[in-house]
Copies of this chain bind each other. A is one copy, B any other.
Amino acid sequence: MVKKSTVEILDTTLRDGAQAAGVSFTLEDKIRITLLLDELGVDYIEAGWPGSNPKDEEFFKEIKKYGLSNAKIAAFGSTRRKNSIVSLDENVNAIIKADVDVAVIFGKAWTLHVLEILRTSKEENLNMIYDTIDYLRKHGIRVIFDAEHFYQGYKEDPEYALHVVRVAEEAGAHAIVLCDTNGGTLPNEVYEITRSVVNTTKKSIVGLHMHNDIGCAVANTLMGVLAGARHVQGTINGIGERTGNADLVQILPSLVYKMGYKALKNIENLKRLRDISMTVYKIIGLEPNPYQPYVGEYAFTHKAGVHVDAVLKNPRAYEHIDPSYVGNSRKFVVSELSGSANILGLLRELGINNVSKTDERIKRALSRIKELERQGYSFDKAPSSAILIVLKELGYHKDIFVRYSWRMFVDSSGLSIVIIEINDIVDRVIDIDPITALKKAVYNVIKRIYPEASTITPTTMSITNIDGKMVRATMEFSNGLYSWKTQGVAINLMDALMRALIDGYEYYIAMKNLGLYERPSIDIFRNTNISLQSNMNT
């Protein structure tokens, strides 16, 4: 048996990822992400820059309290300052103080940067690199050397760029990482230039650090590995300065499943990939990209009627990999034209098998969905409201909360009074915020009408206006185990909120009546396998 080549993985979400506009981490965020990355099984976690940022120093102390199972923590830093003595360099010594096993040191490989930005000589730049690596090595630290702007440097002055590599190797760098810092290098150039470096290095392994400025960070990383690199740097979800870094979430499954390399401590960990990706989005406060390769909500979502038919015959027809390998799942979009077959698929998931494809009620449900989307509903974001429509049309659910009205008084003194009436039961809540008061009042009434729903809470909410006329309110609900999303669209904000709120409770009751609360293995509460949307195209 041939032993597969191993590729080292360094995650820099906490360092280079923190350079992304819109991203900032608290100490607690950094700890949480570190533990996730350790669980995923990466080799190194580049966690901060102790010399530049005093707050990162806290992290290096704090993380020692956690016993990591897989990953080594790495500190980031630059080479020593020009014309100085490395042992007196504060930033370099900050790395030693951080008490890490691994340091990632960046240095210049492009003469433009040496001469115009650093404003030093080519010779002194080489000395800075050698001294810093050598000094840290003598302190027992493994050094990964990031050769900044390597590809651009190589294209303009290959001799100097290779000289930088040689010096880093002589100084004892474990890995020499070729950085496409500006992200503008083409995949074929990456292959050729990486190949030439791999051919000239003997002791150090060659690494890759790609940016996505021309949309090629993932492909460039794969091409670099094909050229012989054995160390890959990237971030979760590709977050990073400008257009971001290479996305490890996209790179890892291709490396392992498509190219046959060994990476991560355990290949099975890739099943956690979608979950880890989504958790990192949540920690950062960014909306997940539903179109993200491998892990996105829509990555295995089939919409065209011909595709749905084919996938039901053989998933390989329109799937490049089994979605479960990365913790994702297959989904179908129900559209006006491709509709009936997909609605039947949904009903099967709900345990309803006695409805035929040509049933008039299905057509009515689809046309109702279509009509509501014209009014401004977006069921992709709130499939539970659409599933309710189908169930009601088929007679599997009957609305419980039917007559409702409200009255609200809000005053800038900080007083909001909401009076709500559902099915003739009235409640009044006073709160600072009118929406909080509305949610509480609805909850109070509903638990009197249907006590089992008292464990349900709306968790998140977003409101947008459509065309300056209608308001769309989307709400997520949870019972602690599952979550589901509903939507209300209306001219009046409170009306839209009420519709989303009521749907949230109705959906829970509908699922409970179908016995699905007792069968949590069917993940119907999260609606991960069915998404409803009406659409004119197949």
With A21-B301, A223-B187, A293-B212 in contact, do A410 and B412 touch (Cβ < 8 Å)?
A: no
Q: Across the two chains, which residue of chain B brings its CB closest to A434?
A: B493
With an 8 A cutoff between CB atoms, is A385 at the interface?
no
With an 8 A cutoff between CB atoms, is A527 at the interface?
no
With A25-B536, A215-B219, A242-B299 in contact, do A320 and B183 touch (Cβ < 8 Å)?
A: yes
Cα A378 to Cα B320 in complex, Å, equals 38
Contact of A316 among B112, B318, B331, B493 (CB under 8 A): B112
Q: Is B298 a contact partner of A22 (Cβ separation < 8 A)?
A: yes
Q: In the complex, what residues of B have CB within 8 A of residue A289's CB?
A: 289
Q: Is B291 a contact partner of A244 (Cβ separation < 8 A)?
A: yes
Stretch from A93-101, A445-453, A464-472 contacting the other chain:
A464-472
With A187-B219, A243-B299 in contact, do A465 and B471 touch (Cβ < 8 Å)?
A: no
Q: Is B25 a contact partner of A537 (Cβ separation < 8 A)?
A: yes
Q: Across the two chains, which residue of chain B brings its CB closest to A467?
A: B460
With an 8 A cutoff between CB atoms, is A113 at the interface?
yes
Stretch from A47-55, A502-510, A515-523 contacting the other chain:
A47-55
With A462-B464, A491-B433, A492-B414 in contact, do A113 and B184 touch (Cβ < 8 Å)?
A: no
Q: Is B320 a contact partner of A214 (Cβ separation < 8 A)?
A: yes
Could you tell me which residues of chain A, from 212 to 239, have a CB within 8 Å of some CB in chain B?
212-216, 218-220, 222-223, 226, 238-239
Could you tell me which residues of chain A, from 259 to 292, have a CB within 8 Å of some CB in chain B?
259, 285, 287, 289-292
With A435-B493, A461-B465 in contact, do A307 and B414 touch (Cβ < 8 Å)?
A: no
Q: Across the two chains, which residue of chain B brings its CB closest to A219?
A: B219
Q: Is B409 a contact partner of A19 (Cβ separation < 8 A)?
A: no
Stretch from A35-43, A157-165, A356-364, A400-408 contacting the other chain:
A400-408
Q: Distance in Å from the Cβ of A288 to the closest Cβ of chain B?
A: 12
Q: Distance in Å from the Cβ of A155 to the closest Cβ of chain B?
A: 12
| Most chain B beta carbons < 10 A, residue from A116, A293, A534 | A293
With an 8 A cutoff between CB atoms, is A430 at the interface?
no
Query: Range of interface residues on chain A?
Result: 35 or more
With an 8 A cutoff between CB atoms, is A463 at the interface?
yes
Q: Is B112 a contact partner of A314 (Cβ separation < 8 A)?
A: yes
With an 8 A cutoff between CB atoms, is A182 at the interface?
yes
With an 8 A cutoff between CB atoms, is A514 at the interface?
no
Q: Is A531 a contact partner of B116 (Cβ separation < 8 A)?
A: no
Q: Is B215 a contact partner of A434 (Cβ separation < 8 A)?
A: no
Cα A231 to Cα B397 in complex, Å, equals 53
Cα A211 to Cα B475 in complex, Å, equals 32
Contact of A321 among B20, B49, B184, B187 (CB under 8 A): B184
Q: Is A537 a contact partner of B219 (Cβ separation < 8 A)?
A: no
Q: Is A407 a contact partner of B410 (Cβ separation < 8 A)?
A: yes
With A219-B216, A317-B117, A537-B25 in contact, do A187 and B184 touch (Cβ < 8 Å)?
A: no
Cα A408 to Cα B418 in complex, Å, equals 12
With an 8 A cutoff between CB atoms, is A296 at the interface?
yes
Specify how many copies of this chain sit in the oligomer: 2
Cα A66 to Cα B535 in complex, Å, equals 26
With an 8 A cutoff between CB atoms, is A250 at the interface?
yes
| Most chain B beta carbons < 10 A, residue from A184, A407, A412, A463 | A412
Q: Is A492 a contact partner of B416 (Cβ separation < 8 A)?
A: yes
With an 8 A cutoff between CB atoms, is A294 at the interface?
yes
With an 8 A cutoff between CB atoms, is A310 at the interface?
yes
Q: In the complex, what residues of B have CB within 8 A of residue A197's CB?
A: none
Cα A53 to Cα B291 in complex, Å, equals 25
Q: In the complex, what residues of B have CB within 8 A of residue A290's CB?
A: 21-22
Contact of A412 among B181, B406, B462, B465 (CB under 8 A): B406
Cα A534 to Cα B24 in complex, Å, equals 8
With an 8 A cutoff between CB atoms, is A300 at the interface?
yes
Q: Is A213 a contact partner of B316 (Cβ separation < 8 A)?
A: no
With an 8 A cutoff between CB atoms, is A11 at the interface?
no
With A113-B317, A408-B409, A460-B465 in contact, do A213 and B299 touch (Cβ < 8 Å)?
A: yes
Q: In the complex, what residues of B have CB within 8 A of residue A378's CB?
A: 22, 285
Q: Is B293 a contact partner of A213 (Cβ separation < 8 A)?
A: yes
Beyond the given A53-B537, A213-B293, A216-B218, could you list 12 further A-B residue pairs with CB under 8 A, ordered by the A residue number?
A19-B304, A22-B380, A49-B538, A113-B310, A182-B319, A212-B293, A241-B307, A242-B298, A242-B302, A243-B298, A407-B409, A433-B492
Query: What are the 5 tightest A-B residue pairs by CB atom distance, in nearest-first order?
Result: A184-B320, A219-B219, A215-B250, A215-B218, A18-B537
Could you show 10 A-B contacts with beta carbons less than 8 Å apart? A18-B535, A19-B537, A21-B297, A22-B298, A24-B335, A24-B537, A182-B320, A214-B294, A243-B298, A461-B463
Give A contacts to B, CB under 8 Å. 15, 18-26, 48-49, 52-53, 55-56, 112-113, 116-117, 181-184, 186-188, 191, 212-216, 218-220, 222-223, 226, 238-239, 241-244, 247, 250-251, 253-254, 258-259, 285, 287, 289-294, 296-304, 307, 310, 313-314, 316-321, 331, 333, 335, 337, 373, 378, 380, 404-414, 416, 432-435, 459-465, 468, 471, 491-495, 498, 531, 533-538
